[in-house]
Amino acid sequence: MNIEVRVVPGAKKREITREGQAFKVKLLSPAREGKANKELVEYLADFFSVRKSEIVIVLGERDRRKVVSLPIGPAALAALSPSR
């Protein structure tokens, strides 16, 4: 399943919140040399309890707005509350 993600690099703490159908993800890493993308994949893998290798940034590799592919279904996504 593909989800829309808005990334906020260089935040003071990691956080994921829902904004309508999309997710807003705050990351500690700066948006340089792929560090924020790497942290995004690691954070999403931990949050959704999937392997890092199963997460793919489909669109927006160099943009704050991204489309990310996750190996979960819509029902599992709806059941998760992003309050961790």
In CATH terms, 2-79 corresponds, of 3.40.50.2300, 1.20.1370.20, 3.30.1200.10, 3.40.720.10, to: 3.30.1200.10
Per-residue pLDDT at 81 = 58
When mean pLDDT is compared across 22-36, 44-58, 68-82, the lowest value belongs to: 68-82
How many Å apart are CA 13 and CA 76, to the nearest integer? 25
CA distances from 32 to 35, 36, 61, 72, 80 (A): 6, 7, 12, 29, 30
pTM: 0.89
Query: In the numeric block, which tokens belong to residue 3?
Result: 């989800």
Average pLDDT over residues 35-44: 96
Domain ranges of the chain: 2-79
Percent of the chain with pLDDT over 90: 79
How many Å apart are CA 10 and CA 75, to the nearest integer? 31
